[in-house]
Structure 1
Amino acid sequence: MNFLATVALSLAMSTDAFAVAISKGAAIQKPNLRQALRIGLIFGVIEGITPMIGWAVGQAASRYVEQWDHWIAFGMLLVLGALMIRESFSKEDESEVTADHQSFALLAVTGIATSIDAMAVGASLAFINANIYVTAAAIGACTFLMVTIGVMLGRALGTLIGKRAELIGGMVLILIGCTILYEHLAGAA
């Protein structure tokens, strides 16, 4: 895989995480750069690891990953989106939601949900003998950058969006999950 293809793939793999990061930044009460970097690092590391897992699985049996990746991603994003939507209607005061309120576990699960497609990409890269280490590092670095920017962009949009940032974020997660499922089913037809 050449440099341009690696960059394009890295950008494509980071778009889901970028969309989620904007909603995270809007939902968090004024995240600072340190907090945005933390969230970016969590998403970037996960997004960098999943293609390597997919590549390893692809070496053995990629058809199993490709058969279920879209359903796994859809299910995880649907559940996370529904939880965010439910949370948006809770009586908790918005001023209590801080970046520290965003637990590592919740961020990691969200990162995994948005990176399931990268696992399938890793599986497909096993068949073309691409350098998975370079590709995974590029995907992780791009995701780190895009998520950090997304959180800070979400911070700016948060004042415009107000209390419904989590509602919008939940709907974005569900929409991403539906898009993943639709793209797979449309491609199979």
Structure 2
Amino acid sequence: MPAFSGTAIPVAPFIMTPASLTLLSLAMSTDAFAASIGRGAGSGGRPRFLNALRTGAIFGAIEGITPIIGWLAGAAAVHLVSRWDHWIAFVLLVGLGARMVYAGMGKAEGCEEDAPRQSLPMVMLAAVATSIDALVVGVSLAFVDIHIAVAATAIGTATMVMVTLGIMLGCALGQVVGKRAEILGGLVLIAIGAGTLYQHLGADALTG
């Protein structure tokens, strides 16, 4: 069901293609990926796949739920801001993307080889912390033509895979790689935000 079902919108909303949804999903998983790289050395040895997969599943589940929460909040306000929906989506995505790029340009932290294995509550807390961005993206998705369940599933799946890989590869991959991935993810969000605005303004010009 499109986010705009039942609302009076003068022009067609930005249509998110499978390709753009894939890029969005990967972009949203980069912060969790960057955070998970250092965890690979936490056990003092090579991480076990099942443990890495469990952590990835936790991150993926939470990262998949938070966009739905954001979407519900955004959908509730769609009829109030229909004239500025494209600007709202643009500001949210570009602002979030810029923050990710800025964070990715920071100094990479080293891996702690003797770091203790984190408990389940701590893993869940870390997952919630890295899913705040997905909450913001969920709000912006209320202003585009996409099925939120499909988007949430794609984001959650991408996060699960990326976190699992990040833990398994650990410090062998390097914190710098994680930072660069976050920069790339931020640039993707900026591009999607710009595409949303461009398509909507183009539609306005045609209907004007």
TM value normalised by structure 1: 0.63
**Pairs within 5 Å for 1:24-173:** 24-30=39-45, 31-61=47-77, 94=114, 97=116, 101-154=117-170, 156=172
Q: CA RMSD in A?
A: 3.4
Which segments of structure 1 move beyond 3 Å, counting only runs of 4 or more?
Answer: none
- Structure 2 CA distance for aligned equivalents of residues 27 and 61 of structure 1: 43
Structure 1 gaps, min length 5: 78-83, 162-167, 185-189
Is this contact kept in 2: 1:28–1:155, CA < 8 A?
no
- Structure 1 CA distance for aligned equivalents of residues 140 and 126 of structure 2: 23
> In terms of Rg, which structure is larger?
2
- 2:200 match: none
- 2:20 match: 5
SS, match of residue 146 in structure 2: coil
1:35 partner amino acid: N
Count how many residue pairs are aligned between Structure 1 and Structure 2.
144
- Structure 1 CA distance for aligned equivalents of residues 38 and 130 of structure 2: 13
- Structure 2 CA distance for aligned equivalents of residues 117 and 104 of structure 1: 21
Identity, % of aligned positions: 46
- Structure 2 CA distance for aligned equivalents of residues 42 and 107 of structure 1: 8
Structure 2 gaps, min length 5: 1-15, 79-87, 104-108, 191-208
Whichever structure has more helix as a proportion of its residues is 1
- 2:38 match: 23
Give the drift of 1:60. 2.5
